[in-house]
Structure 1
Amino acid sequence: MNSTTVTFPRGEVSGRSEVVAAVPVGDRRGLVVAETPFHPLDHTWPDQPADRGTIGGLPVLDCVTGAVPASGGEVLLGADITARREDEGWRWLVVHVVAQELPAGSPVELEVDAGYRAALSAGHTACHLAALALNAALAGRWRKETRFDALGHPDFDQSAITSSRISAHASVDVYRLGKSLRKKGFSAEDLDLAETAERVDDLLRTWVAADVPVWVDVPGPELTARRTWHCSLPEGEVSIPCGGTHVRSTGELGVVAVTLEPGESELTMRTTVRP
């Protein structure tokens, strides 16, 4: 079984392929095809949910990442995958979970729910922009040298993030504010969350109004290709490693706004998009 070729990084939402295998997924079946437009849930950083849609006319109930040794053996799914992406001797698969099996060799039409994909893409692009804007808003709170983002600001997002979840026209990012971050030189003392959110929103309004290009660099057709998100902001081009889907320009987003919520030694940023 070869690795699945994926077309979602190019923005595809439909395709035609052939079923190459069916694997058990609980009491359901997971269909593997040679090529798919479906974006699966990533097993290492599950930020963007799986696409919805149909395969061979069957509803896709879930779409997950699978891995199998090149020499053959059991297909591992999601959290059960023991291999790393860079490990040799593995094949990486997109597994479409359905209620019934289709025979190997069957030609199938694959249709992604384009509206849902677009909503997730908007949420994911806005998530990256909000992270960059948050870095800028918090730049003055670092007392030590640290890594910088593509705009030259201390990278609070990558230094402190513990989880990121994308949803339709929205995202939720959680950052730690505890002892380890203080040791790195970040001070959250007397942090005014309302003022910080306003500064983030101001930057987001500017970037959306600029209507600048957004694209994903796609080095290869395989699922594990190291893809990179790019955006030509007025301050300069930025890039972030990312395996998800995105809009084509910031102007497509409409209105993007954040709220910042305190927690016990953490900060939650909720980003919403109103097209």
Structure 2
Amino acid sequence: MEIGGSTLVGYPAGEVRGRSAVVGTVPVGDRYGTIVAETPFHPLDHTWPDQPADEGTIGGLAVVDCVTGAVEEGGETVHLGGDIPVRRGTPGWNWLVVHVTDGPVPGREVELVVDEARRRALSAGHTACHLTALALNAALAGRWRKEIPADGLGHPDFDQTAITSSRILPDGSQDVYRLGKSLRRKGFTAEGLAEDLPEIAQRVNDRLKAWIAADAPVWIDSPGSELTARRTWHCGLPEGEVAIPCGGTHLSRTSRLGSVTATLELSGDGSELTMHTVVGH
């Protein structure tokens, strides 16, 4: 099967509905994978699987999964998810959104409908995730003995330096940070962190409250509609505009979060810090 080009996506602009031509189908285990020219669906990114795939329908059938695929230009084999043999965005490859259903999708042109409530909840979780990361950076700024790269607000970027995993949840997120020898060599002071966690969490939550009250605008800068276009999340916070590379979906203003609460949990041996973020509309 030869695919004519990469899938064009509308989710960065907030699209949740669309109609498009079917350009190919692939087997996904005992299920069916449908590829269309344009889609509003956000697929799971296999390289950094933080935001889960959208749910909804394609051609009236339930989309049970939505994954990233890739096929070499002129080739016929579509590789899915972790089986993709090249780096995301490698030239000479077409990058695809594959909508997985239990049965074959009828017709050469289909209607695509994303579950709006789930999309909104995941968008809220992702926006809150970025804000809590920035707030955590600020709250931990005094624990650095050495200079490291700063975030968009000028604080040492603990989030990007220490993060090992991030998971976007409906109306929330969970981020895990490694506090090992490598981070200490970079200048982070972990001594006394357990005792200071309540105060650090309070500083994070106070900053989040102020940012939500500021009704700051949020937008996605996208250089193109291709799945692999390098998109950037922007937020016009009172301290200044922040930009973070991101391929997920988001709300359009901080006020639409309603409230955000972060809790911090240190592992028993002190080697990991987990931040739980919850959005309360």
TM-score by length of 2: 0.96
Within 2, Cα distance between the matches of 1:96 and 1:256?
32
Equivalent residue for 1:80? 83
Equivalent residue for 1:97? 100
Deviations 1:168-196 (A, max 9, x none): 00000000001000000001110111111
Shift of 1:24: 0.7
Equivalent residue for 2:215? 211
The answer to whether the aligner puts 1:222 opposite 2:226 as a matched pair is yes
Equivalent residue for 2:146? 144
Equivalent residue for 2:137? 135
Deviations 1:29-61 (A, max 9, x none): 100000000000001000000001000000000
- Find the residue that maps to 2:105 and give its secondary structure: coil
Aligned with 2:48 (options 25, 45, 50): 45
Residues 19, 102 of structure 1: 8 Å contact kept: no
Equivalent residue for 2:247? 243
One-letter code of the match for 1:182? R
Within 2, Cα distance between the matches of 1:235 and 1:227?
22
- Structure 2 runs not aligned, ≥5 long: none
- Find the residue that maps to 2:51 and give its secondary structure: coil
One-letter code of the match for 1:22? T
Deviations 1:140-172 (A, max 9, x none): 000001000000000000000000000100000
- Find the residue that maps to 1:194 and give its secondary structure: helix
One-letter code of the match for 1:91? N
RMSD: 0.8
| 1:144-223 alignment, distance < 5 Å | 144-191=146-193, 192-223=196-227
Shift of 1:225: 0.2
One-letter code of the match for 2:20? S
Within 2, Cα distance between the matches of 1:67 and 1:194?
46
Deviations 1:57-108 (A, max 9, x none): 00000000000101213111111111112421100000000011235x6110
Larger deviation: 173-182 or 189-198? 189-198
Residues 61, 97 of structure 1: 8 Å contact kept: yes
Equivalent residue for 1:268? 274
Within 1, Cα distance between the matches of 2:85 and 2:275?
31
Residues 19, 31 of structure 1: 8 Å contact kept: yes
Equivalent residue for 1:30? 33
Equivalent residue for 1:118? 120
Within 2, Cα distance between the matches of 1:63 and 1:241?
22
- 4+ residue runs over 2 A deviation: none
Q: State the number of aligned residues.
A: 274
Within 1, Cα distance between the matches of 2:274 and 2:64?
30
- Structure 1 runs not aligned, ≥5 long: none
TM-score by length of 1: 0.98
Equivalent residue for 1:19? 22
Shift of 1:9: 0.5
- Find the residue that maps to 1:195 and give its secondary structure: helix
The answer to whether the aligner puts 1:65 opposite 2:30 as a matched pair is no
Residues 53, 67 of structure 2: 8 Å contact kept: yes
Deviations 1:186-242 (A, max 9, x none): 011101111111000000000000001000001100000000000000000001000
Aligned with 1:256 (options 255, 260, 265): 260
